[in-house]
Structure 1
């Protein structure tokens, strides 16, 4: 054999060896993501990434990924349980879901002798907003206190189930004897509410707002009243993350980019989410717009870690989980810290920020900067690309009357709860009109009456608030 042939054969053997170890072999890497499109708080971890092709923008293309190609797969689910089943079966690599189903995901992986990782929060509320209880529109029930002895449906083992149990406990009631809690998915509960077949329904994002928006239910309890933190986040198969950590970071970079885009143009992307999901844009904006019902917060705040711990404890109580998860092994900041740093963010600073998505706007009537956000009201006029902002409900309702006189159609009017700061549909709110004619909005009649006793003024509904402004002219 010539020396040339020997060298060529040796090189071929070396190349073959490299191929066997996967160092230089062109590899097709699957990136399979399970989404929950109609659970709109998962949008920045699924729907928007998919629709805007953001994952393709951030997937690594150098180093060990230089010759790799990607097989990006998306699959949509209406709840977390079937998504988890496919992750455990090895059909999905990533998934987006809430704290309760996320914890069940960790338990399911553990039972299979494997691990999943909770890698990021996507959206949530340290106060608990997002979960809620609704009743039929014509119900006499005004608060949870009126539900003793009544039937309340809820999707079992969901984050809203945990909220409901906390709320019942706060009243000093027994969930076994003082109320009748039955399991019911939102797609079943909606028609049941319309037919008055159930007396109340507890649910997660976005149904406690969606059902009232569609006109057949009224919200009588917000999760923030139970002080039960809740969130939606992203999970990954731990084995996949160990093999492809750069891809995990790329997925989170895509989520951060989706978050940035919807923060900059919430109306535009609320309309996009509505087009894909059928969840009306007015409901989407309630969550994702400035001063929204929940914050889009990617950091692992102590309250969100506690939400995971509480969900595991509650799931064991419900006999849906029979083992503990090591929170410190299940929840990890590793990947989101890296992703946020590469996106130019500061994880430590963001982890200390509890503020709602900020509003930087001028009053559409006066032109003055809005500085007091406890009184903000907003109007979304049909065929206008941007929501109009007002410093007070009275400014907004006066403007509304003018818009209607001009023949303009209005999509929605929002107000902020004076006490909790959560965003409300104004036509579902209660108001207190002060002796000076100022209006303050409240989710519950109880809240309005309490404020009235402390500060003076008359309690009125939405129609009454509008009429009072006409009468004062």
Structure 2
């Protein structure tokens, strides 16, 4: 019998998950609508779909692409998205409004070296940005990084610089055409700007004030689930997490193999894709409970991050973040 590509991928995924092939085919598929984008926090979900790993674990995961985390979470609140990857900043905004429609169920990765602030070669320090235009997507992790860097250097973000709200996909062109003097971006835009001539990376997320002490970037990636869905389909959420972190292990241990699935999503060359994968720290399933435990450094860092956002007036108030963390699906 001739094996189709779909069946081949299913067989490979079944082997990766140590499932009998007959069991993989026989499992009834549960449908999960996943909200993603080309950002690296979604790589494991995309690989899980394209490789057949989710299918082998009895899940039919539908990819829905959103340009921003806020739009993605809007889809979750409306019921069109069941599970999503998101920067924590957008999730904190919902928490600050008291929304109980979502739960944080996982921590994706540490991307501290693939988000940062780019400048021209004539800028040697953050203080040299005084009087310049900085392109950044407002209400994002990159926005908080810029605010943190500026205040840390003694500059007033409202008076000493001109912050320009530029949607993430437009940052590369805005910086290249000199509409802005500096640009704060995340991958894949980070990778594209870094490749330009006469450009230097002034600071990445490892320069963020909370990073060294708590290991949190300005907007750590988390996985969130719609509570109504997770309550009705707890086993599906568990299988999703099992598979997602199986794909994360592939990213960590076999970056060249993982990159093969991703270039269509990101538009990066294979070399740049492999480099981007290697620059992130990929968490596995076994690390999740320790990361998200109520007394963990990471959970404490998320609360400190929330407090800092409120200080910078990015949130009206700082919510008690731990009330939204749910490790029962791990």
Count of aligned positions: 288
Corresponding residue of 1:32: 33
Give me the whole-angstrom Cα distance separating, in 2, the residues matched to 1:94 and 1:153: 30
- SS of 2:261's equivalent in the other structure is helix
Q: Which residue of 2 aligns with 1:238?
A: 227
Change (3 A) 1:87 1:318: farther
Residue pair 2:135, 2:182 contacting (<8 A) in 1 also: yes
- Could you tell me how far 1:314 is from its partner in structure 2? 4.7
Classify 1:71/1:236 alpha carbon distance in 2 versus 1 (closer, same or farther; 3 Å): same
CA contact (8 A) 1:118 1:236 kept: yes
For residue 47 of structure 2, what is the aligned residue in structure 1?
48
170 and 295 in structure 1: CA distance in 2 versus 1, 3 angstrom threshold: same
* Correspondence for 1:334: 328
* Deviating 4+ runs (over 6 angstroms): none
Distance 1:29 1:297, change over 3 A: closer
Q: Does 1:119 align with 2:105?
A: yes
Deviation at 1:34, TM superposition (A): 0.8
Using the size of structure 1 for normalisation, the TM-score is: 0.56
1:294-333 correspondence to structure 2 within 5 Å: 294-298=280-284, 299=288, 300=291, 302-317=296-311, 321-333=315-327
Q: Answer 1 or 2: which has greater helix percent.
A: 2
User: 2 CA distance for matches of 1:43 and 1:208?
Assistant: 16
Judge conservation of contact 1:106–1:115 (CA < 8 Å) in 2: no
Q: Equivalent residue for 2:179? A: 197
**Secondary structure at the residue paired with 2:70?**
helix
- Aligned-pair distance for 1:134? 0.7
What's the CA shift for 1:174?
1.4
Alpha-carbon separation, structure 2, partners of 1:327 and 1:205: 26
CA 1:72/1:262 → structure 2, altered by over 3 Å: closer, same or farther? closer
Greater relative contact order, per chain length (Cα 8 Å cut-off, separation 6+): 2
> Which runs of 5 or more residues in structure 1 are unaligned?
1-26, 60-69, 337-473
Q: Which residue of 1 aligns with 2:128?
A: 146
Residues in 2 aligned to 1:258 and 1:193: alpha-carbon distance in whole angstroms: 34
8 A Cα contact 1:94 1:236, kept in partner: yes
Contact 2:30 2:236 in 1 (8 A): no
| Structure 2 match to 1:65 | none
Cα pair 1:153 1:189 within 8 Å, conserved: yes
Structure 1 counterpart of 2:208, from 221, 226, 234: 226
Shift of 1:71: 5.5
C-alpha distance in structure 2 between counterparts of 1:275 and 1:165, whole Å: 33
Structure 2 unmatched ranges of 5 or more:
1-27
